[in-house]
A = this chain, B = another copy of it.
Amino acid sequence: MTDTVTLQAWVLNKAKAAKKASHILATLSTEEKNAALLSMANSLWQHRKSILQANLEDIEQAQKNQLPQARIDRLLLDEKRLQQMIEGLHQIVELADPVGEILESFKRPNGLQIEQVRVPFGAIAMIYESRPNVTVDAAGLALKTGNAIVLRGGKEALRSNDQLVYALQKGLESTAIPLEAIQFIDRTERETVDFLIQAKGIIDLVIPRGGAGLIQHVIQKSIVPVIETGVGNCHLYIDKAADLDKATAITINAKTQRPSVCNAIETLLVHEQLVETWLPQVLTTLTKYGVEIRGCHKTQSVAKEIPLIPATEEDYRAEFLDLTLAVKVVSNVDEAIQHINQYGTQHSEAIITEDEKTAQKFLAQVDAAAVYHNASTRFTDGFEFGFGAEIGISTQKLHARGPMGLKELTSHKYVIRGTGQIRT
């Protein structure tokens, strides 16, 4: 199958099979879907040997290809991680099923009874990179919400994903959910992504999860509706009226607790009244945590003892995802808001202040999925929000914004019941 046309037909057949299965899935009861999810969980454990063996081969290949250690870590599976994935499926079973929820119900003067009912999307394509746990999470969340899923993971995890999907499909045997509800694209040509995101009328929704390159590619090329996820150039603004203990604790937490994730901060904005007092202290502490500072002119002038790199325009735009922090002094909250709305990616933004009015202004005027007053940006997360699950964090404004749980994987339809009404 080296021919592009053949490859496209092969991908589209998988998408069509998923779509067909979605029509059955949409009519299943919560009990039927939960029984299938539990069977999938059991099957994962039964197939642990072949899954971990396949993962070992992926890891060996990754080491041979000299992948960075961080990526190899993301790829690695062991019994504990597999148990976490199984536990994740059990948690999804426990969550309320949003399908069938009546969102609105009203009667018109002509007697028409109109209901807005929550329904599945249909077939969802998930485009992701090296983490094999996405395979299980996405399948579990999609099936619980009555959606079929087409999985296109990264090439490093091909063998692991293949075995995971095999186990999940085996788990579906003798359940109400057809095996075809989970489709896996076990090919790694870039075109397979393009075929999926151009399959309008078959695929109902595309969710890309991964680095900025992958997400931009999908947005540029997709004609199927996309939910953009994940890129986070997040800011923390320390106001002149900040409680400085909170400011220090939250700065350290938001930058260093897990710098590789999207809700960690990349730029610290500091009110000019704190330049002589608080700023040098926090920079010293950050440096002890191994953080590299890229400072504006004013930051440079007060931090002479700290090894510091002058900040560039590019630094303000960067999602470092690492122990690197841009620092900029601003003259007031308005300048902080303006900077965030200009450079941010509308993910998570926080203000530290004891002044309620200043906080209110920041919360209202900053344009982002999550805006915080006196808390770390690190809380933007489906589990931290109490959703019990997360399929990604949307940074667009259409349909979903912020952490996406089960509800965000559903659409709705209007059901209208009449007694012979015609329009006059």
Q: Please encode chain A, from 134 to 166, with 1 for each CB lying within 8 Å of some chain B CB and 0 for all others.
A: 000000000000000000000000000000000
A424 to B384, CA, bound (A): 11
In this assembly, does A290 line the interface, its C-beta being within 8 Å of a C-beta of chain B?
Answer: no
Q: Is the CB of B420 within 8 A of A374?
A: yes
A152 to B409, CA, bound (A): 32
In this assembly, does A220 line the interface, its C-beta being within 8 Å of a C-beta of chain B?
Answer: yes
- Given A365-B27, A411-B401, A112:B375 Cβ within 8 A: yes
Candidates B402, B415, B417, B420; contact of A414 at CB < 8 Å: B402
Rounded to whole Å, the gap between the CB of A109 and the closest CB of chain B is: 8
Residues from chain B with a CB closer than 8 A to the CB of A243 are 420
In this assembly, does A213 line the interface, its C-beta being within 8 Å of a C-beta of chain B?
Answer: no
- Given A376-B421, A423-B378, A370:B225 Cβ within 8 A: no
In this assembly, does A108 line the interface, its C-beta being within 8 Å of a C-beta of chain B?
Answer: yes
A369-384 interface with B by 8 A CB criterion: 369-376, 378-380, 384
Closest residue of B by beta carbon distance from A222: B223
- Given A23-B341, A225-B397, A112:B379 Cβ within 8 A: yes
A341 to B396, CA, bound (A): 29
Total interface residues in chain A, CB < 8 Å: 67
- Given A108-B386, A370-B414, A397:B205 Cβ within 8 A: yes
In this assembly, does A96 line the interface, its C-beta being within 8 Å of a C-beta of chain B?
Answer: no
Residues from chain B with a CB closer than 8 A to the CB of A341 are 23
A79-109 interface with B by 8 A CB criterion: 106, 108
Q: Is the CB of B373 within 8 A of A418?
A: yes
Candidates B204, B253, B375, B398; contact of A205 at CB < 8 Å: B398
Residues from chain B with a CB closer than 8 A to the CB of A373 are 415-418
Q: Please encode chain A, from 185 to 202, with 1 for each CB lying within 8 Å of some chain B CB and 0 for all others.
A: 000000000000000100
Candidates B375, B414, B423; contact of A371 at CB < 8 Å: B414
Residues from chain B with a CB closer than 8 A to the CB of A380 are 414
Q: Is the CB of B257 within 8 A of A375?
A: no
Q: Is the CB of B423 within 8 A of A374?
A: no
Residues from chain B with a CB closer than 8 A to the CB of A108 are 384-386
Residues from chain B with a CB closer than 8 A to the CB of A412 are 401
Could you give 24 example pairs across A and B, Cβ below 8 Å? A23-B341, A23-B367, A27-B364, A205-B397, A225-B225, A225-B396, A227-B398, A250-B422, A253-B422, A257-B423, A363-B415, A369-B413, A370-B413, A370-B414, A370-B416, A372-B416, A372-B417, A374-B417, A374-B419, A374-B421, A375-B421, A378-B423, A399-B399, A401-B412
**Which A positions have Cβ atoms within 8 angstroms of B?**
23, 26-27, 106, 108, 112, 114, 121-122, 200, 204-205, 219-220, 223, 225-227, 243, 245-246, 249-250, 252-254, 257, 341, 363-365, 367-376, 378-380, 384-386, 396-399, 401-402, 411-424
